[in-house]
Amino acid sequence: MKNPLSGKSALVTGGSRGIGAAIVRRLATEGAPVSFTYAVSDEKAAALVAEIETDGGRALPIKADSADPQALQRAVAETVGRFRHLDILVNNAGILLRGPLADFSLADFDRMIAINVRAVFVATQAAVAHMGEGGRIITVGSVTADRSGFPGASVYSMTKAAVAALTRGMARDLGSRGITVNTVQPGPTETDMNTDENIRAIFRPMLALGRLGRDSEIASLIAYLASPEASFVTGAAMTVDGGYLS
């Protein structure tokens, strides 16, 4: 189907780089005007918009820290104001702070909860006020929800398991409105935030395919879940991990 998302609009949180930018590109390629939030780099956000517009798409950058509930609510409102409706929300923003349990600070614990879990609830609550039947809520989780895999990831793993549980509950809450809610759980992935070759070398033998994933491969699954073809998929945690959990 050419341009399966034509007539739909989308908001991607944390969309200026890495997996988020790949998601923005893919949704725009499939016909949706896409707004995306970012927290730091005006330059990267502007470059992504220019790239999408050169390819004939539409994109709206919105500077918003996902730790700030009001900023997320404003991002939803700005998206609706620009595109007149909101059909797809991709909760991609997230942070990974690692450390031994004995030394892990409460401030870092609270920040990961705020961005990885609370922001998903806040953005979803704001978005569904504007969604009708066929709406899509998709959250980027992690395989660490099922397997931490390495020391120092207990809090991060907990946040991603919480997202998977929240997804199942929200799918029940929104099913009667024809809105689907799903989580995509990537395994180790090559992005501009994961450039340490030593770490990549540690992960490769853990994957059945012997390589890390590509951000475009994560985006392809999200594009499917956003499409009309996925209308009967909800409450799912879909793993895309090259066999990391196998």
The domains of the chain are located at 10-189+219-239
- Distance separating alpha carbons of residues 161 and 147, to the nearest angstrom: 10
Angle at 134 between CA 142 and CA 67, to 5 degrees: 40
DSSP 114: I
pLDDT in tens, 186-244: 999 988 766 778 888 888 999 999 999 999 999 999 999 999 999 999 999 999 999 99
- Distance separating alpha carbons of residues 55 and 3, to the nearest angstrom: 13
Catalytic residues: 156
pLDDT in tens, 71-86: 999 999 999 999 999 9
In the structure encoding, which two tokens stand for residue 224, read together?
């499917």
pLDDT of residue 200: 86
Among candidates 32, 28, 39, 34, which has minimal Cα distance to 72?
A: 39
**Architecture field, domain 10-189+219-239:** 3-Layer(aba) Sandwich (3.40)
